[in-house]
A and B are shown apart, each in its own frame.
Chain A
């Protein structure tokens, strides 16, 4: 009995995990968690650099009389952000609703499935190709179909976000759950741990760094898909604003929305970075 659980292996304490199988991750976690302390001089340098880039862009646009539909003046983008915020904010709200609910359904399903499937290596082998297909297929491609079925409301977008983020969370979490450290499992078992206790107190903590990476990648994929889906159809959301503003050549407003989207992406990254620092820093 016990042998089965221990994987029928001869006791050995080989360190290092095989992480090469099917791991999809765009970030190097150790680079993520590296704490950087900056001196005042460095901070000033960073600000100076930003001022040169933005100021230079402003001057260039003015000096060479760049047409607004090619690139608006940076100052007009910032101005649009303030003057048109009341028209943009509700759409930001819609996008966030889609992102949060889609990500919630997708990520939780992906996480649970990863936890279950990795317990049964045989099942894992059977479903692996489908999971890979879900990860690699751009879910945006399904949006026209979803719109046909569900109309122009929230539903097709939420489904698309869930389909984009779920498999990403799943494949990374599965990689995490697949890390088996026989010695740590044996340690828990030597104290009489149940399979459930081993899962909760050994497997989950060991998988956590990969789960957090998966959630981050999944959330960013979710954001991309939400905006893309909004551009395909429907009358609201930041993606819809992009198509509307570009169609009416309101370029400052267009770039204001782009700015909001990149800030959203940075916030997602920062959030998971901090979560990782708190819960997974032991691994670096």
Chain B
């Protein structure tokens, strides 16, 4: 019998190989992590270390070569209603206007859109009055805000974010980070966040998981013990600067 409550998300010895023309590519190697409900963790690591592969596996978009991932104790073997995903560069469908983009998950799931929830979220991220605008008419930051609304619209308990703000300028990025923190504090979703930006990871997360170069496995976990809500000034705190540097050294080695 299971005595302890199951974790929200458990990644158990997850490994992934890809078949490529030049032979199998070992992307992820025995990655292990357990995530509590309402936790916020970030995955950082060198380029091509398998962060996205791992995230896509959690989303049920990939299967693993070995190991398994559990959501609420049940194995993930496909896309799940409890998981919302925010993609790189917003990933809006350019032929749909904003509201049609946000209602897209409902269309796929063949359920009526949760109008109240969508309106509340749109208001929350400051996107009221843009319903009929097409993605090309919106700024990168607005598109990414819309994609957050889309991911949360069907009220999943887990939010996966795959380098969501990589293409945004620094100011918009700070703004988005504050927004993500606010949303997390308000909704207490379990969030797994991928980024190349160590400061961003530290600012947002409870824990920062550093991955090794390919094949990606867990190198080290850094706890970020800093009270919430965090402000951007936190980033100039000496202890935080030290932590950011430690993580950077861990990833690229001491120079």
Binding site for B on A (CB under 8 A): 1-3, 6, 8-13, 15, 183-184, 186-193, 197, 201-202, 205-206, 208, 280, 282-283
> Which residues of chain B have C-beta atoms less than 8 A from A282's C-beta?
94-95, 134-136
**B69 lies within 8 A of chain A by Cβ:** no
- A2 lies within 8 A of B60 (CB): yes
Residues of B within 8 A of A3 (CB): 62-63
Taken together as a complex, chains A and B put the C-alpha atoms of A2 and B25 apart, in Å, by 18
Residues of A within 8 A of B55 (CB): 11
Task: Please determine whether A6 and B94 come into contact, CB atoms closer than 8 angstroms.
Answer: no
> In the complex, what residues of A have CB within 8 A of residue B81's CB?
192
Question: Which residue, of B27, B93, B109, has the highest number of chain A Cβ atoms within 10 A?
Answer: B93
B226 in contact (CB, < 8 A): no
Q: In the complex, what's the smallest C-beta–C-beta distance from B15 to chain A, in angstroms?
A: 14
Is the beta-carbon distance between A8 and B79 smaller than 8 angstroms?
Answer: no
Shortest CB distance A76–B (Å): 50
Q: Which residue of the partner chain A has the closest CB to B84?
A: A190
Partner of B108 from the list A10, A12, A186, A201 (CB cut-off 8 Å) is A201
**In the complex the two chains form, what is the Cα distance from A187 to B91 in whole Å?**
8
B35-87 with Cβ < 8 A to chain A:
52-53, 55-56, 59-63, 78-79, 81, 83, 85, 87
Contact for A191 among B53, B108, B134, CB less than 8 A: B108
Most central of A11, A13, A183, A205 by chain B CB within 10 Å = A11
The answer to whether A190 touches B85 (Cβ under 8 A) is: yes
| B206 within 8 A of partner (CB) | no
Query: B27 contacts which chain A residues (CB < 8 A)?
Result: 10
- Nearest residue, chain A, Cβ from B56: A11
* Contact assessment for B63 and A2 in the assembled complex, using a CB-CB cutoff below 8 Å: yes
Query: Which of B78, B91, B107 is A2 in contact with, Cβ under 8 Å?
Result: B78
Choose from B63, B91, B135 the contact partner of A1 (Cβ within 8 Å).
Answer: B63
Which listed residue, A11, A13, A183, A205, touches B95 by the CB 8 Å rule?
A: A205
Shortest Cβ distance from B101 into A: residue:
A187
Known: A183-B87, A184-B91, A205-B93. A191 touches B104 (CB 8 A): yes
The residues of B that contact A188 with a CB separation of less than 8 Å are 104, 108
Range for the number of chain B residues in contact with chain A: 35 or more
> Is B19 among interface residues, defined by CB-CB distance under 8 A?
yes
- How distant is the Cα of A247 from the Cα of B95 in the complex, in angstroms? 53
Identify 23 residue pairs between A and B in the complex whose beta-carbon atoms are under 8 Å apart, listed by A's number: A1-B63, A2-B60, A2-B61, A2-B63, A3-B63, A6-B61, A9-B18, A10-B25, A11-B55, A11-B56, A11-B162, A13-B91, A183-B89, A184-B93, A187-B91, A187-B93, A188-B108, A190-B59, A191-B109, A193-B108, A205-B93, A282-B94, A283-B94
Q: Which residues of A have CB within 8 Å of B136?
A: 282
A15 — which chain B residues lie within 8 A by C-beta?
A: 89
List 11 additional contacts besides A2-B78, A188-B108, A282-B95; criterion CB under 8 Å: A8-B18, A10-B18, A13-B88, A13-B91, A183-B89, A186-B87, A190-B83, A191-B104, A191-B108, A206-B95, A208-B95
Q: Please determine whether A11 and B83 come into contact, CB atoms closer than 8 angstroms.
A: no
The answer to whether residues A186 and B63 also contact, given A191-B108, A193-B108, A197-B108 and a CB cut-off of 8 A, is: no
Tell me the bound Cα distance from A53 to B125 in angstroms. 59
Which residues of chain B are within 8 angstroms of A193 by Cβ–Cβ distance? 108
- Given contacts A2-B63, A3-B63, A10-B53, A183 and B91 within 8 Å (CB-CB): yes
- Do B107 and A201 have beta carbons less than 8 Å apart? yes
Is B18 a contact of A190 with CB atoms below 8 Å?
no
Chain B residues positioned under 8 Å from A2 (CB to CB): 60-63, 78
Q: Is B105 an interface residue (CB 8 A)?
A: yes
Distance between Cα atoms of A192 and B84 in the complex (Å): 11
Q: Which 4 A-B pairs have the closest CB atoms?
A: A11-B52, A191-B108, A191-B105, A282-B95
Collect the chain B residues with CB atoms within 8 Å of residue A192's CB.
78-79, 81, 108-109
Within 8 A of A (CB), among B153-205: 154, 162
Report the nearest B residue to A197, measured CB to CB. Answer: B108
Task: Please measure, in the bound complex, the distance between the C-alpha atom of A201 and the C-alpha atom of B96, giving whole angstroms.
Answer: 10
CB pair A11–B53 under 8 Å, yes or no, is: yes
Chain A contacts of B62 at CB under 8 A?
2-3, 6, 11
Question: Would B94 and A190 count as touching, CB distance under 8 A?
Answer: no
Taking a contact as CB atoms under 8 Å apart, the answer to whether B94 and A186 are in contact is no
Min distance, Cβ B211 to any Cβ of chain A, angstroms: 15
Identify which of residues 1-54 in chain B touch chain A, using a CB-to-CB cut-off of 8 Å.
Answer: 18-19, 25, 27, 52-53
CB distance from B61 to the nearest CB of A (A): 5
- Separation in Å of the A145 CB from the closest CB of chain B? 43
Q: Which residues of A contact B25 (CB under 8 A)?
A: 10
Note all chain A residues with C-beta closer than 8 A to B135. Answer: 282
Within 8 A of A (CB), among B108-164: 108-109, 134-136, 154, 162
